[in-house]
Chains A and B, each alone.
Chain A
């Protein structure tokens, strides 16, 4: 089941409506199409747009909202 289906099926929480940002780890890159396969905390995978964050490396963590990587995550200071 996709992250979206799981999240939106939850009667108490739609993560897209809720402006949630989900930290996801980059598993595979498809630079030609500007996409990356990413996994969230639970291991659920989504195809994510990477246009807004530029070139990524496998293993990086990005903050994802509505299938778009909005920012790279930095380690807490």
Chain B
């Protein structure tokens, strides 16, 4: 398909890898974080890290929407799902995220009506066909997904669907990045920016990274050539001693994002003062909630949501993996007690999670070969 095939060309990939090799300074170690879980998935799926010189290290960031959901939030979801008359809907990977008392899949097995949907619109359709039940949509995701929830809420209001509510767990990407950059135990040289988030927010919100922290950012597409080219663009900035925000994904990302999407978001949502992130704790103004104009569609105002706080399991090191402090295989339970079939931590649930991506694509080798 056009826009896809040309970005998977192996020969071109080798050529870009050659340019990367020619750009790196021997003896210098480069640590580049790919912010988005979609990039992590592509990197492992296509073996992109194998094409990089040994002194260019890709570190996985906090941009997997499933991985950042804390256990307590899953418990809250399960509590709502167990209420009589509720049809609880969520995306596929969310079904398998463990809370302290099990997963939504297990809650379903125990009798709760939990259903997987592809989009919030599907959940709204379900509400229309089940007028005697309340359909709750467990909304997760970054700014890429939040407009879909916002548009669905607008549609629910316009079409007057009173039995539809949203348990909003949407998050924003900039606050956790700032938290990461302020963290003393992390040394990074640059960022591969989250392409699909930027279709909504644009590249401008990332300008604080070069301005305040002196590190380059390249907004990147998700095909193998996109990621390789973005790594090259970051290395070139470093080589030339400059830093700024560059947009590799111009075929999709306008520098200023999608104005209409931003308008829709501000019509429906407002920032929470704090939101809890798995492994990263509470981060100020990093989560969205439904505003007063849409209060009737807010699950948290219609139900008694327990607001559970649960510490992450001691053995699980998702927090360190999400911050790029350790590699997935350095976690004590990786591939033994924690597998995609029986995940302990969220990073093993979604294929965008660094641990599951590592595990599913058989990347157990701890030493890479030098290209």
Contact = CB atoms under 8 A, between A and B. Distances in A.
Interface of A: 2-5, 7-14, 16-21, 23, 41, 47, 49, 51-54, 61, 63, 65-68, 70-71, 73-77
20 contacts: A2-B118, A3-B118, A8-B91, A10-B92, A13-B351, A14-B351, A16-B119, A17-B66, A17-B94, A17-B352, A18-B37, A18-B350, A20-B38, A21-B199, A49-B148, A52-B151, A66-B121, A73-B252, A74-B252, A77-B250
A43 to B, nearest CB: 10
Interface of B: 1-4, 6, 36-38, 41, 63-66, 91-94, 116-122, 140-142, 144-145, 147-148, 151, 194-197, 199-200, 222, 250-254, 258, 260-261, 264, 340, 350-352, 356, 360
Contacts of A16: 91-92, 118-119, 141, 145
Contacts of A63: 196, 199, 252
Given A4-B118, A63-B199, A67-B118, A51 B2 contact: no
Given A19-B36, A20-B38, A23-B4, A49 B151 contact: yes
Contacts of B66: 14, 17
Nearest to B148: A66
B181 to A, nearest CB: 21
A76 B6 contact: yes
Contacts of A70: 144, 147, 196, 199-200, 258, 261
A18 B41 contact: yes
Contacts of A68: 119, 147-148, 151
A51 B145 CA distance: 14
A20 B258 CA distance: 17
Contacts of A2: 118
Contact of A65 (B36, B41, B94, B144): B144
Most buried by B among A54, A74, A77: A74
Contact of A7 (B36, B92, B194, B251): B92
A17 B93 CA distance: 6
A24 to B, nearest CB: 10
Contact of A11 (B41, B200, B264, B340): B340
Contacts of A65: 144-145, 148, 196
A71 B340 contact: no
Given A17-B92, A19-B145, A21-B199, 10 more contacts: A3-B118, A4-B117, A4-B119, A8-B92, A12-B356, A19-B63, A41-B1, A49-B148, A66-B144, A70-B200
